Structure 1
Amino acid sequence: MAHVTYRIVEHDGGWAYKAGETFSETFASHDEARAAAVRAAREQRAPDESAVIEYADDNGDWVTERADGHDRPATDVEG
């Protein structure tokens, strides 16, 4: 099973969450960025629903694929 860690980091004059090398939008506070990361992590774990997902691969290219609802990554939030 895949694992995704969302890390809260300072970014572009504010705070963001980062998964791999990809940053979220910038938030005014650490708490806002953390809350957004928790929402993103929860959405990634949503069971029993197939969905179209998008993510940046190791080369920074965006990939769109259909994910089986039974094949969700484990997630956590650090920071």
Structure 2
Amino acid sequence: MTKVVYHVVEHDGGWAYQVADVFSETFATADEARVAALQAAREQTRPGDPEWIEYQDETGAWHVEQEPGNDRPQTEVES
């Protein structure tokens, strides 16, 4: 199972949560960023409906496959 970790960090004059190299919007306090990270993490674990997805891999090849909607990652929020 994939694990996604949300990190609460100082960013752009305030606080944000970061996943890999992507930052959320900036919040005034670390507590606000943590609440937003917890909400985003919770949403990411919620199962969805099956969907057809199309994506390009690192070599430039395109793929089309069906995502079942129930293969959700484990999430964690770190301050």
Structures share fold, TM-score greater than 0.5: yes
| Distance change (3 Å), C-alpha of 1:73 and 1:21 | same
* Structure 2: stretches of 5+ with no match in the other structure: 52-57, 59-64
What are the within-5 Å matches in structure 2 for residues 42-57 of structure 1? 42-47=42-47, 49-50=48-49
Cα drift, residue 69 of structure 1: 2.3
> Cα distance, 1:50 vs. partner?
2.5
Equivalence for 2:22: 22
Identity of aligned residues (%): 57
Letter in 1 for 2:2: A
Q: CA deviation at 1:67?
A: 4.2
Over 3 Å counting, the alpha-carbon distance change for 1:75 and 1:12 in structure 2 is same
Q: Which contiguous aligned blocks of 4+ residues in structure 1 show a shift greater than 2 angstroms?
A: 65-69
Say what the alpha-carbon RMSD is for the aligned residues: 2.4
C-alpha distance in 1 between matches for 2:45 and 2:67: 11
| Contact 1:50 1:66 (8 Å CA) reproduced | no
Equivalent runs, 1:1-79 vs 2, <5 Å = 1-47=1-47, 49-50=48-49, 67-79=67-79
Number of equivalenced pairs: 68
Structure 1 unmatched ranges of 5 or more: 53-57, 59-64
Code of the residue aligned with 1:5 in structure 2: it is: V
State the AA in 1 paired with 2:13: G
